[in-house]
Amino acid sequence: MDGDKEVMQSMDAKVRRLGFQSGEAFSQALLDFIDAHTWAFERLTSAHVLHMGGIDALQDSPKLIEIVLRCRPSYKVERNPASAFHVVGQGIHPLSAHLCRHPKAQENWDMAAPTRENTHNTYLKMGDPSYVCLIPVMYVVENVSISEMFFYPQYRWTHPTPPPRTLLSDAFALCSSSINDCFPLRVTQGTGSVLPGRFVRSRGRWVWEPLFLEWSQSAVASSGHRGLQIIVAELGAGDHLPELINAISAL
């Protein structure tokens, strides 16, 4: 018990240097950050899987996606949930290597088994024949012993030809930029369109709002968001931006 207390005190001291009051506050900020960028993280996960040959190719050797984050120190009372961290590394690794590498990894994995099974069954009941399984995604914060594991649904690629490598590269570039340059991509209510946005304070809480209502070169140019403008220029989609966004959404 004393050992656990010492670990918590050490953790609190470490995160206070980053502007957090406690390890608990840090963990909540991490969850809020992941939630703010869920669409991008889900697309990154699918792109990693498809880059390895698709989910069926991974069934004999289960994999884990690892996203390495670095905290952006801030001493503001109200911290923007979309900008608290940024991605410094990502990759796909054998699940067995993760379970062997970390002391409590196997124990935590076994404890999460009921949650995985319930979530898996929920997706099965939805009746989508292309659904295959869940894939674990581990979010690790650099230099801080706090991490979170999520499980994202994976679907079989149903097109007759594999996704173009250029499309996967565009997905990696756009999604990574949306996270690190802080224009969180989200599906808008009503239209179902995926749009870049920002978090603003409204009535004492953070609320996401879109930067514009429809993808176009002129909308991006007038958005005032330099990071978005740079990545769109690098992608070179031009007038085909809506088609590119739809293609990435379908991964």
Task: Read off the pLDDT of residues 82-95 as tens digits, 9 standing for 90 and up.
Answer: 999 999 999 999 99
- The CA distance from 85 to 90, in Å, is 14
pTM across the whole model: 0.93
Neighbours of 183 (CB within 10 A): 25
Q: State residue 3's pLDDT score.
A: 47
> Shortest CA distance to 46 belongs to which of 63, 70, 31?
63
Strand order in the sheet with 185-187: 185-187, 194-202, 205-210
| Sign of the Cα pseudo-torsion (98, 100, 105, 111, in order) | positive
Query: Which residues of the chain, if any, have pLDDT below 70?
Result: 1-10, 77
Q: State residue 189's pLDDT score.
A: 86
